[in-house]
Amino acid sequence: MERFPQSGDFMTFVERFLSRNEPCIFSSELTSGWRARKLWQKKGRPDLEYLKKEFGDAVVSVADCSQVSFSTHPKHDMQLCDYLHYWKCMLEDKTPPTRLLYLKDWHFVREFPDYGAYQVPEYFLSDWLNEVWDIREDVHDDYRFVYMGPAGTWTPFHADVFRSYSWSANICGRKEWLLVHAGDEMYLKDSLGCLPMDITSASLQDRSIYPHAHKGCAPIRVIQEEGEVIFVPSGWYHQVRNLDHTISINHNWTNAFGVCSMQKHIQSELNLVMASIADCKDMDDWEGHCQLILKACVGINFSEFTQFLSVVALTRSRELRHILDSCHLCHQQVAESYQNSTRHSMRCSDSTIHSKKCSDSTLYSLMCSVLQLEDFIRIVATATPFTIFTLATDLWEATEEAKENVEEEEEEEEEEEEEEGKEVEEGKEVEEGKEVEEVEVEVEEEEEEVEEEEEVKVEEEVKKVEKVEKVEKEVKEVKEEMEKEENVLLKVRHPCTQL
């Protein structure tokens, strides 16, 4: 198995392991500062007295690895102080134990939320599974566990719940891991289609029982040392054995990279359920009964899966709107900010804000959600359990589509800006044209006024001239009359002149 490079960052993890669904192992440096590493062990062995003093009254689930019932180890509850007493006796007694008891699936964080035994590594912070289960009101559960057990205790061959990812950190002791590539477990099925409990069993060499076991690849064998952390990809079946007295912390988790595998697994199991009771299809609420059986077999049905996706979407929708409102970021600014953000956001749609180191803080994720979430929420809220798996559950594709939408929006905005620029220019030209027309009209009006004034003046001059001519004519006529009268008077005065 490949070791995660010391200089690697989150993007290294995404590109080389998470996106490829490949396992890796991290060095003990990742857990060196944990409180559990400092207080739960001494010189590489469990500090049973400290654990008893701090948590002795807790009730834990214990599997008996020395017994088998229905292809698994039977489990029962007991107080932690009683289990630690059993373990102490094993440590002090050199004789082989008659029972191998393995403390498993202890919900430590749920029971002691303020203790702070460890910090989730930055590579695994994007955890939709525990995020949703933490806020569910109908169940009191999570997928964070503590495991404790002596050397020889083990976990049978299995794949993790809901086909989630898992990470496991050794507080003390060593583990042997046997991992099978996703899909290769099909070769390990027996003639009845059942997987083995122990893939180290000699019976796998018997082709009459396991006819295809020889066709698959050999399991990957890894020894996990104290403090190291192993990443188990989705769908990788594995079997784990404690080589020493060991304490480990384990999380199941998923996010945008793994949710498709989760959906496909639920649908595959539903298909098996439907096929197994197909002869009862005429019964009332047959589909509802299929969902009940699916829940019993897998731990989740499509109704819960719908709720799961809705919570993820709604939580991010609120975060996005709060961030965008508080920062006054427009879509264009968000898209521009993305250009300088990490490439992880091109693939991961999760936008939970954890820290500067958390990949989910990229603004591109916010942009994707702004564009997609309202439609996505409406789909998951209205879809039936039998149609939800066909409707927008592939968040990877949705994110890629959102990326294309962002690019299209950017192009459209550029085109709009160009058109607006053209419209402004055209508007300026139109306004300038209008101004010219208005000036021309004003000039024409002024010219017309001047012409009218001149015409009035001419008319007035003509009238004056006509009046003068009339007066002159009248004066002339008066003069002529006066001359005539003078002539008459002269004749009267000098009558001889007529002779």
Question: CA angle 125-126-127, nearest 5°?
Answer: 95
Average pLDDT over residues 20-32: 97
Confirm if 16 and 344 have CB atoms less than 8 A apart: no
Q: 239 φ, ψ to 5°?
A: -135, 135
- Cα–Cα distance measured from residue 416 to residue 434, given in angstroms and rounded to the nearest whole number: 26
Confirm if 351 and 370 have CB atoms less than 8 A apart: no
Which distant-in-sequence residues (6+ apart) come within 8 Å of 102 by Cβ?
62, 63, 64, 65, 73, 147, 148, 149, 153, 154, 155, 242
DSSP H/E element including 400: helix 395-493
What pLDDT score was predicted for residue 8? 92
Token representation of residue 338: 């993305």
> DSSP E strands: which ranges in 99-139?
101-106
Name the DSSP class of 341: S
Which distant-in-sequence residues (6+ apart) come within 8 Å of 252 by Cβ?
129, 143, 160, 161, 162, 164, 165, 166
Average pLDDT over residues 141-169: 97
Which distant-in-sequence residues (6+ apart) come within 8 Å of 297 by Cβ?
269, 273
* 220 DSSP β-pair partners: 179
pLDDT at 366 over 70: no
Structural Rg of the chain based on CA atoms = 47
Strand order in the sheet with 24-26: 24-26, 229-232, 165-172, 246-253, 144-149, 101-106, 59-64, 75-79
For residue 383, is it left (φ>0), alpha (ψ between -120 and 50) or beta? beta
Where is average pLDDT lowest: 105-109, 146-150, 400-404?
Answer: 400-404
Dihedral Cα 102, 107, 108, 112, nearest 10 deg: -150
Q: pLDDT per residue over 199-211, tens digit each? A: 999 999 999 999 9
Question: CA angle 491-494-496, nearest 5°?
Answer: 105
Token representation of residue 157: 């061959």
- The per-residue pLDDT of the chain, averaged, comes to 81
Sign of CA dihedral 219, 220, 225, 226: negative
Q: How confident is the model at residue 34 (pLDDT cuts 50, 70, 90)?
A: very high
Average pLDDT over residues 320-325: 62
Token representation of residue 166: 């898992």
- Cα–Cα distance measured from residue 385 to residue 301, given in angstroms and rounded to the nearest whole number: 8
0.75 surpassed by pTM: no
More confident residue, 372 or 120: 120
Token representation of residue 26: 């991290």
* 178 DSSP β-pair partners: 221, 239
Of 237, 120, 107, 241, residue with least CA distance to 169? 120
- Cα–Cα distance measured from residue 167 to residue 122, given in angstroms and rounded to the nearest whole number: 12
Where is average pLDDT lowest: 134-143, 169-178, 243-252?
Answer: 134-143
Q: pLDDT per residue over 116-152, tens digit each? A: 999 999 999 999 999 999 999 888 899 999 999 999 9
Q: pLDDT per residue over 231-243, tens digit each? A: 999 999 999 999 9
Which distant-in-sequence residues (6+ apart) come within 8 Å of 383 by Cβ?
306, 391
Q: pLDDT per residue over 463-481, tens digit each? A: 777 776 776 777 677 667 7
